[in-house]
Amino acid sequence: MTGEAFHESGVGKGVTTAALGTILKQRGYKTTLIKIDPYINYDAGTLRPTEHGEVWVTDDGGEIDQDLGTYERFMDQDMPKKNNMTTGQVYKTVIDRERRGEYLGQTVQFIPHIPDEINRRIKDASKDHDIAIVEIGGVVGDYENIPFLFAVKALERELGKENVAYILVTYLPIPGHIEEMKTKPTQQAIKLLSEEGIFPDFIICRAKRPLDEVRKKKIETYANIKSDHVISEPDIDTVYQIPLDLEKERLGEKVLTHLNLKSRKKPDWASWKKLVENIRSPKKKVKIAIVGKYVDIGDYALADSYVSINHALFHAGASLNCGVEITWIDSKSFEKDRSRVKDLGRYDGILVPGGFGGSGVEGKILAIEHARKSNIPYLGLCYGLQLATIEYARNVCGMKDAHTTEISRDTPHPVIDILPSQVELMKNKDYGGTMRLGAYAALLKPGSQVEKLYRETGRLDEDKARIDALAKQRMDHFRLGKLEKGRNAVLERHRHRFEVNPRFISQVEKQGLVFSGYHVREDGTKLMEYIELPTHPYFVGTQAHPEFKSRLGNPSPLFYGFVKAAMRER
């Protein structure tokens, strides 16, 4: 059973897809969500965050569109990398098959070979699920979307019209000079879809304000659909309210009826509603500074660069009934004027996210030093762990020139260095496949702050089950490495090339910084995964990206501990 979702661009179609998936899951259906990106890039791994937003990392090592992150956060369900398809992947697969002679001398053409490959991928990602929702990115009229629209129309013929629902998410602008909601863009989208032989069964109308009856009737008439299949989805203060609003509109029930299905169980939204209420009306509030470099382009702020971090903070806050006010700070501003670092004293916590390259690095190190010396709770993610290690080596251990070889190849104290296995690939400029990607196990130091947080949030038991499942898959044994009896292990997602240099670990630990978790590779190499400073209220770093595992109702342990510590500061 397959449901297809088609949308206009930039109106929250990913959130709408995720919300509908959550609703169908609540009604007892095993649901998966698939995102189609019409760009030629093979994946999102080499795209600039300022252009495309955050790169989402899956357990199985995919570098994909950030909408998959929205799906996982809403559904509380891991999505594999095959659930994201790009034009580049489709064409590469077809060309590779032609080179291998798999088409047996046929003339390989756009039709039927490209649509056939698209539908093969949709079916593969949908396997073992009751319902699949497929989101096609971009705008209905984009040339690059034509092969995907053609493909799903062919899929409808194969599956039967009764097994497919088309949903258009569209935007109704309200021009400021007239304050009147306009339906013309929606009418145009309906017309463009009809030219591809696709007629929407449902239209979800995004706008600043709720849809009124006059415009609802206009859209209903133009699209020739039932009035109650035109759904209003106005702007709200938190995206986690959207499933509740769509449930009030009975969208899930209507979609199932259209597919000749009935609810398998009664939805239970009690805990979801409580968490949304905590987000909207928290008992406490904390101020968090995110010090990074992908924070603006031109005159516009880019919250999408760190969207998963934002949500992980909101999840932690919701579980603690605490509002989180986030301020994005460009680390380069501290390099221009070092005295501005003191402004961080107004925040209850400082977070340094992942990143690459030398831009803004010294500014981040100044922020980390301020957090350490001022006892402000600090959380470092990926690069944030590496830079915290560098800061400690420089300012506590006396290694004044300590650095990462990513920036300073000739540093006498390379406390952060590249994995030896990646050196040759880097020489050949093969950057697309050189990183440590996906979920890896980390052994935790007994009694450490990190271990206590994973225990407190229930992740030790949850990850034990995940590790047991991975152990049964021989292809994924490298993700577990060598486990040790008596040591708790957890799984977090990674995306990095450089590691803490083992030559300097004992020297740094002698001065008080604790490496509280590590991964043991199958060749015996230890890779440091966590740091903490026991003398500090909360000074924690991880080589992983725990924000990719955070969910509403199941927050990341490190973010939970960070917000909890920030509340004490407040």
Active site residues: 382, 545, 547
| Token pair belonging to 306 | 């760190």
Q: HSE-up of 527 (CA within 13 Å, CB side)?
A: 28
Q: Supply the DSSP string of 162-201, one letter for each residue.
A: GG--EEEEEE----TTT-----HHHHHHHHHHHHTT---S
What separation in angstroms does the CA of 384 have from each of 290, 406, 484, 496, 514?
11, 14, 27, 12, 15
**Rounded to whole angstroms, how far apart are CA atoms 221 and 1?**
29
What separation in angstroms does the CA of 524 have from each of 266, 277, 477, 484, 531?
50, 48, 14, 12, 20
Q: Would you call the peptide bond into 49 cis, given omega within 30 degrees of 0 as the criterion? A: no
**Rounded to whole angstroms, how far apart are CA atoms 486 and 520?**
15
| Token pair belonging to 404 | 């990462």
Residues 6+ apart with CB under 8 A from 203: 167, 168, 169, 170, 186, 190, 219, 223, 225, 229, 230, 231
Is residue 334 within 8 Å of 363, Cβ to Cβ?
yes
Is residue 1 within 8 Å of 261, Cβ to Cβ?
yes
Q: Is 512 left (phi over 0), alpha (psi -120 to 50) or beta?
A: left
- Identify the CA nearest to 140 among candidates 189, 207, 178: 189
- Note the helical H segments in 260-409: 270-280, 307-319, 332-336, 361-373, 383-395
Residue whose entry in the numeric block shows the structure tokens 């935007």 = 171
| Token pair belonging to 544 | 């992983």
**Rounded to whole angstroms, how far apart are CA atoms 450 and 468?**
21
Helix, coil or strand: residue 550: coil
Residues 6+ apart with CB under 8 A from 282: 317, 321, 322, 323
Q: Phi, psi (5° rounding) for residue 350?
A: -125, 130
Q: Phi, psi (5° rounding) for residue 21?
A: -60, -40
**Rounded to whole angstroms, how far apart are CA atoms 219 and 374?**
58
The edge-to-edge listing of strands for the beta sheet with 131-136 is 84-86, 31-37, 131-136, 2-7, 166-171, 202-207, 230-234
**Rounded to whole angstroms, how far apart are CA atoms 458 and 465?**
12
| Token pair belonging to 359 | 């831009």
104-121: buried (b, 16+ CB within 10 Å) or exposed (e) per residue? eeeeeeeeebbbebbbeb
Q: What single-letter DSSP state applies at residue 540? A: E
End-to-end CA distance of the chain: give it in Å, rounded. 51
